[in-house]
Structure 1
Amino acid sequence: MRSILIILFFMLCFVSAKSQKWQPGSFTDVKGNRETGLIRTNPPGKGPIKDEGFIEFRENEKNNPYKLSASDLRSFVAGQDSFVVAHAPANESWTKEETDFVKVVLDEPVKLYMAKGGKGGGGSGFGISPGVSAGYGTGGYGGGVGGGIGINLGGGGGRGSSKTTYYYGESTAGMKRLTDENFEDIMSDIMGDEPDLVDQIHEHKYNIKSIDKLVAKFNELQKARQ
């Protein structure tokens, strides 16, 4: 049992260390200007603006980094992951950062977003669920793992919450929470281009707990069509 705990400890340390690394990426500011360089996830220290998520950026390894608050940006990309700026939906409260970033999991007409509370870095942190990746870095989005991203979901709980929550909508302005009750209808709508997969959703082969597998299968089918 002790050896297992030691292994888990080192795995967590590895994931934490990885999240601290600089990644190739870009950001798009509120004026639509796009800058390419390096983005660091979970940077130390406080963000530029209170109650906002933030990232850290530098043009190259020789340049000094600087922090960008969520309200400075439209979106950003780090690695293969894409994120957009979002505010808590009207019927929810994000208890720490009311202006933050959510990951674009599927960039369809009705988009699928993901937010995950987590502890770490200067601004808390944003965790990525294994197997869920936006898989693109173009278009109007940016992406990455937000350095100061610390959404505390559902209006309760502590800063260290690790609950993953999914949202859907044509944009973040009108996004709503994905639930067990609406999962079948919403995911069938999002994945309408893959009728066989939609049938499997209606046959209850997937649910919100296995959404990472569903997204991976959808991406696999979409890639095969290209």
Structure 2
Amino acid sequence: MPVTSKVVIAIIVEAALFVVLLFGAAGTLEWGAGWAWMVLMFGGGGVVTLLLARNDPALLAERMRSPMQPDQPLWDKVFLVVMGVLWCAWLVLMGLDAVRFRWSAMPLWLASVGAALVAVSFWLVARVFLENTFLAPVVKIQTERGHRVISSGPYAVVRHPLYAAAAIMIPASALVLGSWWGLAFSVLLLAGLVWRTIMEERELVAHLEGYAQYTGRVRYRLVPFVW
């Protein structure tokens, strides 16, 4: 199947799943914040996809591959399944919280801050993808593509800028959707990102030439001057 067709199908399936989980839990389609978040997520994701299609179709093709691959560590397969379940539970929780039961009351200005942060996170995602052609969705060494250490652009600041962008996007999404419970639950998702960062670095240090030296030059994993 052509990559373009895979991308279109993936977007449609993902959007449908998000609508079912979010608005199904909310019990209504009349949720402005929910639709605003969908526009932000799929608008931002669409822009990044178009940039990849134009500038790095090989990476786009790589990211359309199965999330379960033969050369992928078992721990990463388990991680992706667990994170997928947590992500779905998170969306359901926010629909229940913000709309159906109205447990949370969040001021509008916080939702605006969240929307701005989601936009910033997608800008960073785009920068990262355009900088690193080896940014596969699974943990593996891509010897067939000449995998090498990338240390320019965002990678000169932190070693895992894509995870840093996700660490902004996740809590910001809870703000857009007006869910304090979603914001609290996002701590679990962030903990998962931190764990994968540590595990992925072990693989890279052990198997990617030059990565150990790179960690000596760029000290911080996710947050400059912090960690």
TM-score using structure 1 length: 0.29
User: Which structure would you say has the larger RCO, counting Cα contacts within 8 Å and 6 or more residues apart?
Assistant: 2
TM-score using structure 2 length: 0.28
Give the structure with the higher percent strand. Answer: 1
Give the structure with the higher percent helix. Answer: 2
